[in-house]
Structure 1
Amino acid sequence: MKKIAYILTIITFCTASISCKKNFEEINTNNNKIYKVDVNDIFSGTVSRTMRLIQDLSFNKLMNFSRYAVVGFATNPSQVMDDNYFNQFYVGILRDLLRMEKEYEGKPDYANRLAMVKTWKSYVFYMMTSMYGSIPMSKALADSDHSPREYTYDTELEIYTQILKDLKDAGELYGVSASYPSDILMRDPVFGGSNFGKSDILKWQKFTNTLRLNIALHAQNLSLDLARTHALEVMADETKLISSLDDMVRLQWGSDEALSASYYFTRLIKTATTFNDSTYPALGEYFGIYLFSYKDPRLSAFVHKANQLSPIPVKPMLYTDTLTRKHANFCTNAECPTFAAHQADGLNGSRIDDILVDYSMPYVPLPEANSLAAGWEWEFIPGTTNRYNDPLGSKSSPYNFSFVHTDFLKENTTTILLNWADSYFLRAEAEILFGSEVKAAQHYEAGIRASFAQYGQSGVETYLAQNGIKWNTDGRGFADRRLLYRANIRGKGGKENHLEQIYKQRYIADYLNCLEGWNLERRTRVLRFPPYFANGAASDVEGYNPQYNYWTERFIYPIVEQSKNKEAYYKGIENLKATSPYYRGDRWGDNVYTTLGFAKLNPDLVFAQQLYGGNKKITPNAEYFNKKYGKTYEEVVATAKSMTGETDDNQALIKAFDYKFRQRLVTYIP
């Protein structure tokens, strides 16, 4: 990675006069950039910049958009007005890729290099158009001697059609030929391993074909025929799709903090002087309840246990629960107000206490910025003048929550674009749409097994046997603490139900691949998470609702486009309007709530005001915490002793989960 950084320094020097430009028009009028450089000197830097951009977007936007994690400071809607991301895509990445593509086009001795460049270019355009919608593609980075003054915005369908054509061409270019032994990358940042060795051409071909299948299905709402054509062509030879853990598209960061460490590490760990739960990503409640509901062992690979990141012992966040216990074991003068009567009547063996207790939980989701919408309030506790408290709102320490596992954030982490499970879930979806339900079920189960293997988890057969996880079954999951959403899986029935199982399992398997998670929900609407609650907070986002907001559907175009590329900019907005299933008029339609053409209509929009508007009183119930260690005091004690090895009841309870008895509520004979 040091070598890559040095290459980047050279590239940055060569491109400084372009990368500092503030609008898209000026990018294409500069003739000073040096392009006659071997792909080995350029490509690694291009991939490195793409990796950093992916993590930048994920941390600042897409973790929240996908609901994979909560990043507290970024849970209110926002819009990026400047052209920072546009320039990073076009100037920092695509310009070099397009020049390399032109350099190798039509040269048989560089067919593999050309295929790699086409594949990476296709992935980057896929990223962009799934973020913005209509964007400049066909004429965006024309030769500088043409000096175009306006950059045509291609439609989403035109872009996806071209991407799929490029990927098809790339997939057919790969080959190992003794005649051209140098037609590889000598320092491959994608499939060169942790030491950035030579290219593995077969793995590149599998990446290209699997990406093609992914994008074909991604574009199905724009053209089912386009999706069918490319999906069936790719699946005609499934040996050329990702087929092992070793085939996964895994981009490797380095261990040099100054030169090659991951963006996450640099942003969250390296320069942090204090720990802040509003900037460190943590388990979100909606994602968490799927893992809690179906006892998913991957939870421990995704996030840390509560308090685990603290360098010193801290007080845990305690959850208040109710238990039953045998009254006779606690019927003493000190604890029982009717001690004498209870001792005399001979019925103590039948009496039961309802008790209120506190204990800590192993995994605790971090709540989003506002727990309630404006006008909402917690309900009164029956028979009292006190209101309920937010079950996730009583932290004792910023470490009390379950934060994203360090494996995803460390300096030499990997960024995964497509994993082994994706390959199976994509095939399962394609079989439901265009082929065999029997094969779909086989691929579905294989995808779950591949994900368990990726995270080194056992117990996959037990997981697969559960209702909702087992093919063609329904599962009832836990609700969130406000009872707004339930992690059900409706898999029993026909095509749509089977797709729900596939989509939800792919969503889980793609944890922290935030672009894919965001894309999957927009194109399927299978998760249908509730909106974010503004609770009266102000915002400069066009179309913002001070009570609740469904999350961002797209990025807006840079404001400079309104003046520098005016005619094409408004044509881009017309392209959005032509295919959008839900078009908002704010900012001429160029707003974060306008749905893109590849996406489905959010079916909850029509009910939004009924569901989330007005004044509501919320009675909380964290079902996923209730009776976590047992339904009775006696069961809880047994659990504590099993966890700790302690023989004393009280010592075991305290050591296991900081148990505290609060009060006896009532004594009765059932």
Structure 2
Amino acid sequence: MKILKNIMSLSAAALLLVGCTDGFEDINSDKNKIYMPTYQSIFAGSVYKTMNLFSQLNYQRMWSYSRYVTVQAFQNGWLGGNDGVYRTFYVDILRDLRALEKQYADGSNKNAYAAVLTWEAMLYYNMTSLYGPVMMSDAGYTSVDKKQVAYDDEATAYTQILDMLGKAYDSFDATNGGALTKDPVYGGDVDKWKKLANTLRLEVAMNIQNISEDEAREYAAKSLEHEEDIFASADDQLMPKYGTVETADGSYYYIQIWKPLNENGGRYDNVPSLNEYSATYMFSFNDPRMKVWFLQAGASVKGSQPHLIPDFLTRAHDCDVYGCNLTDRATHLNWMMEGKEVRDSLRVRYWIPYVPTADGAGSRTPFGWERQYDPSDPTGVLRMSDPLPGVIDARCYINPKYYAMDASIPMLRYSDACFLQAEAKVKFGLGSKSAESYYNAGIAASFEENGLSSEQLAAFMAQDGIKWGTSHKGFDDTRRLITAQLNGADGDEGKLDQIYKQRYFAGWLDGLGAWRLERRTRSLNFPPFFYNGTQTYEEGGDRWYVYPERLDLPESEIQTNKDEYYKAIANLQQKSKEPNTGRWGDNIHTLLQFAKPVPDKAGTIARYQNMHYVDFNMDMQAKYYGKTWEEFVKAARQKVEPIEDETDEQLLKRAFNLEIQSKVGVYTVDE
């Protein structure tokens, strides 16, 4: 399966960026000037700006919010400065698109008109799920004299977006609708654009279930009446690709990650790495995609020192080899004569290839939590160590292809379409196939996208929890705050849990989509941002549970659109299931209408408040090379060539950097 590549390089597109916004200023200020925007002259630049904006949001916020990765440079739950993002949406992109919409509303090029409507709808959809209130129906593009612009609430905006997508879908005409030239998305393929409009309509419809399930069903049915125009392969998906000229069309990630890493002395805090909470699921269900997405621990840093995880192993006891005093020797000999197996219990440390990165140093023991005492320490003094590394050497960084010059930006995948159809089948009985068929197709699409074999896919899907309609409880995270589990055996709700979680992993690095999905479903219900346990990040928050639910509107709106701004915030608070008056109501803590409240948040907070000790563990990677010392030795001999007269301990040191920290004791295994 081919992943959709842009047919047209964005080098040409970037040349069109300069002056597009200026043209709008001219329209609004010089009524005598003739300005004829065209699809060819503007649209490619709008796509490139959208890619950069989504990349910025992902990198600085949504990758962290979604827990796809840990970006140490952006681990605070909140980052201010929304004015630039908001201006990019409205001034740099939407104003250009509105001009194109007006230009082609006369039917002179129906396909260009429909493509512009589709892109507009996609932008408004993302804005509404980010902010809540949006300026849409009264956007003020028609009059230079309009000073105050009204906001639409979520429900109104989503209905307009759905109708806009329906209008776009009906307008596409591959036979006589006009050509799409200089198209950086689908290379002028009208049929693919039509599928995008219809698939996006299904996505928006399923996203509004918590606002109106009836409306969600109605619009989902409209999309699935034309199931032939839902994404059918990776060639259809919306995953535009950057170009190869840094100053013209190069990737935002290349500039923000690759260049600081390779040109500015190696700034590794800018590089995303394996997140603990998503890793808990990948370890629990043996997900081979992890090895595609991430490099091994320490592989990125020259001369790095390996991070060694703590563990306990047992080995056959031999006084002649490992040493015993006379009293112990007699005791051990007596045990053996009684037919008992005698073994040593050892505290060890060793290297593993994939180790997660913690959210941040201060977040590991917030609220005065303490590390628990080591139960194996006879002195009762030692504390358990944090199993996750705090140094840059040991992190598992993402594969550099994801921040290459010509990286792709996932916006709506084929796998998304599969899981949306599975959800629509379970919830509304819509679609021509079974929910299981759609679900399986979504996982298969993700495996194919990541270059994995059919054998790997079959092994993954045979597991309890992954296999449709089955459940499995996996590992805890390193502090036992969450447990990775899939609940497919629990009726329709359990099957939806499978759909949501598999969609999350198939959507890797689509941070905006993942954050939206989690707020809508609360399926993964990852822990909040603790930082050091003292911050709420913004007025109105609870330091025990900080998780961003939206972005603030820019403060510039208070100066330029004051009356309508305050009306919008009042409306936001009135319609929220969990209103919050902090920061005059415009805060990150207010639940949006489309979102589901966090399940049992009060109970979770109470659990945090009653915690005294953090139960540090590495269960998700414990016994990595085997259950016993003997199995570790066997694995070591398969990894490295044994050396003559080398002890097992020396072999394990070479193979896995294994160190024996202490012998906890000697015990018997009764036969």
Q: TM-score, normalised by structure 1?
A: 0.91
The answer for the alignment partner of 1:241 in structure 2 is 230
The answer for the alignment partner of 2:524 in structure 1 is 527
CA distance in 1, matches of 2:33, 2:491: 56
Aligned residue pairs total 645
The answer for the alignment partner of 1:164 in structure 2 is 162
Residue type at the aligned position of 1:315: Q
1:73 Cα deviation from its structure 2 partner: 2.7
1:139 Cα deviation from its structure 2 partner: 1.1
> Are residues 1:457 and 2:452 paired?
yes
Give ranges in structure 1 of 5+ residues lacking alignment.
Answer: 19-26, 193-198
Task: Write out per-residue CA displacement over residues 186-212 of structure 1, whole angstroms, 9 at most, x where no aligned residue.
Answer: 2221112xxxxxx11111111111111
CA distance in 2, matches of 1:333, 1:650: 11
The answer for the alignment partner of 1:136 in structure 2 is 135
CA distance in 2, matches of 1:335, 1:31: 97
CA distance in 2, matches of 1:249, 1:344: 70
Return the match for 2:616 from 589, 606, 620.
620
The answer for the alignment partner of 2:49 in structure 1 is 49
Return the match for 2:422 from 415, 418, 428.
428
Q: TM-score, normalised by structure 2?
A: 0.91
Q: Is the 8 A contact 1:431 1:439 kept in 2?
A: yes
CA distance in 1, matches of 2:502, 2:601: 25
Residue type at the aligned position of 1:400: A
The answer for the alignment partner of 1:21 in structure 2 is none
The answer for the alignment partner of 1:320 in structure 2 is 310
Return the match for 2:16 from 3, 7, 13.
7
Task: Write out per-residue CA displacement over residues 252-293 of structure 1, whole angstroms, 9 at most, x where no aligned residue.
Answer: 101112222111110111134133343221111111111100
1:419 Cα deviation from its structure 2 partner: 1.2
Aligned with 1:669: secondary structure? strand
Q: Is the 8 A contact 2:549 2:591 kept in 1?
A: yes
1:53 Cα deviation from its structure 2 partner: 0.3
Give ranges in structure 2 of 5+ residues lacking alignment.
Answer: 1-9
Bigger shift: residues 345-354 or 202-211? 345-354
CA distance in 2, matches of 1:523, 1:446: 23
Residue type at the aligned position of 1:127: N
Aligned with 1:252: secondary structure? coil
Residue 554 to residue 90, structure 1, CA distance change in 2 (3 Å): same
Give 1:96-495 correspondences, 5 Å limit.
96-107=96-107, 109-145=108-144, 147-177=145-175, 183-192=178-187, 199-272=188-261, 273-310=264-301, 312-328=302-318, 331-332=320-321, 334=323, 341=330, 347=336, 350-369=341-360, 370-382=363-375, 383=378, 384-393=380-389, 395=390, 397-435=391-429, 439-458=434-453, 459-495=456-492
Residue 38 to residue 381, structure 1, CA distance change in 2 (3 Å): same
Aligned with 2:56: secondary structure? helix
The answer for the alignment partner of 2:5 in structure 1 is none
Task: Write out per-residue CA displacement over residues 502-529 of structure 1, whole angstroms, 9 at most, x where no aligned residue.
Answer: 0000001001100110000101111111
CA distance in 2, matches of 1:33, 1:95: 17
Q: Is the 8 A contact 1:210 1:423 kept in 2?
A: yes
The answer for the alignment partner of 2:4 in structure 1 is none
Residue 343 to residue 467, structure 1, CA distance change in 2 (3 Å): closer
Bigger shift: residues 350-359 or 615-624? 615-624
Runs of 4+ in 1 over 6 A off after TM superposition: 27-34
Residue 377 to residue 355, structure 1, CA distance change in 2 (3 Å): same
Q: Is the 8 A contact 1:203 1:247 kept in 2?
A: yes
Residue type at the aligned position of 2:399: H
The answer for the alignment partner of 2:6 in structure 1 is none
1:657 Cα deviation from its structure 2 partner: 2.0
1:562 Cα deviation from its structure 2 partner: 2.1
CA distance in 2, matches of 1:118, 1:337: 86
The answer for the alignment partner of 2:496 in structure 1 is 499
Residue type at the aligned position of 2:305: K
Q: Is the 8 A contact 1:95 1:141 kept in 2?
A: no
Task: Write out per-residue CA displacement over residues 232-262 of structure 1, whole angstroms, 9 at most, x where no aligned residue.
Answer: 1211232211111211212110111222211
Task: Write out per-residue CA displacement over residues 425-446 of structure 1, whole angstroms, 9 at most, x where no aligned residue.
Answer: 0000000111169711111111
Residue 503 to residue 540, structure 1, CA distance change in 2 (3 Å): closer
Q: Is the 8 A contact 2:137 2:152 kept in 1?
A: yes
CA distance in 1, matches of 2:548, 2:369: 23
Residue 57 to residue 239, structure 1, CA distance change in 2 (3 Å): same
The answer for the alignment partner of 2:579 in structure 1 is 583
Task: Write out per-residue CA displacement over residues 394-417 of structure 1, whole angstroms, 9 at most, x where no aligned residue.
Answer: x4x513111122121111010011
CA distance in 2, matches of 1:187, 1:243: 24
Q: Is the 8 A contact 2:21 2:91 kept in 1?
A: no
Give 1:33-72 correspondences, 5 Å limit.
35-72=35-72
The answer for the alignment partner of 2:560 in structure 1 is 564
Residue 346 to residue 132, structure 1, CA distance change in 2 (3 Å): closer
1:81 Cα deviation from its structure 2 partner: 4.7
Q: Is the 8 A contact 2:20 2:42 kept in 1?
A: yes
CA distance in 1, matches of 2:468, 2:28: 53
Residue type at the aligned position of 1:90: Y
Aligned with 1:41: secondary structure? helix
The answer for the alignment partner of 2:570 in structure 1 is 574
CA distance in 1, matches of 2:190, 2:324: 75
Q: Is the 8 A contact 2:444 2:457 kept in 1?
A: yes
Residue 539 to residue 612, structure 1, CA distance change in 2 (3 Å): closer
1:654 Cα deviation from its structure 2 partner: 3.1
Q: Is the 8 A contact 2:545 2:605 kept in 1?
A: no
Aligned with 2:388: secondary structure? coil
Residue 362 to residue 28, structure 1, CA distance change in 2 (3 Å): farther
The answer for the alignment partner of 2:3 in structure 1 is none
Return the match for 1:639 from 611, 619, 635.
635
Residue type at the aligned position of 2:11: K
CA RMSD after TM alignment: 2.3
CA distance in 1, matches of 2:38, 2:517: 37
Identity across the alignment (%): 36
CA distance in 2, matches of 1:81, 1:3: 31
1:223 Cα deviation from its structure 2 partner: 1.3
Q: Is the 8 A contact 1:275 1:398 kept in 2?
A: no
Residue type at the aligned position of 1:63: W
Aligned with 1:467: secondary structure? coil
Aligned with 2:564: secondary structure? helix
Bigger shift: residues 533-542 or 52-61? 533-542
Task: Write out per-residue CA displacement over residues 620-665 of structure 1, whole angstroms, 9 at most, x where no aligned residue.
Answer: 1111121111110010111122233546645652343212222221
Task: Write out per-residue CA displacement over residues 528-557 of structure 1, whole angstroms, 9 at most, x where no aligned residue.
Answer: 111111325456611244x43331000111
Q: Is the 8 A contact 2:283 2:620 kept in 1?
A: yes
Aligned with 2:87: secondary structure? helix
Q: Is the 8 A contact 1:281 1:404 kept in 2?
A: yes
CA distance in 2, matches of 1:479, 1:599: 26
Aligned with 1:315: secondary structure? coil
CA distance in 1, matches of 2:666, 2:641: 31
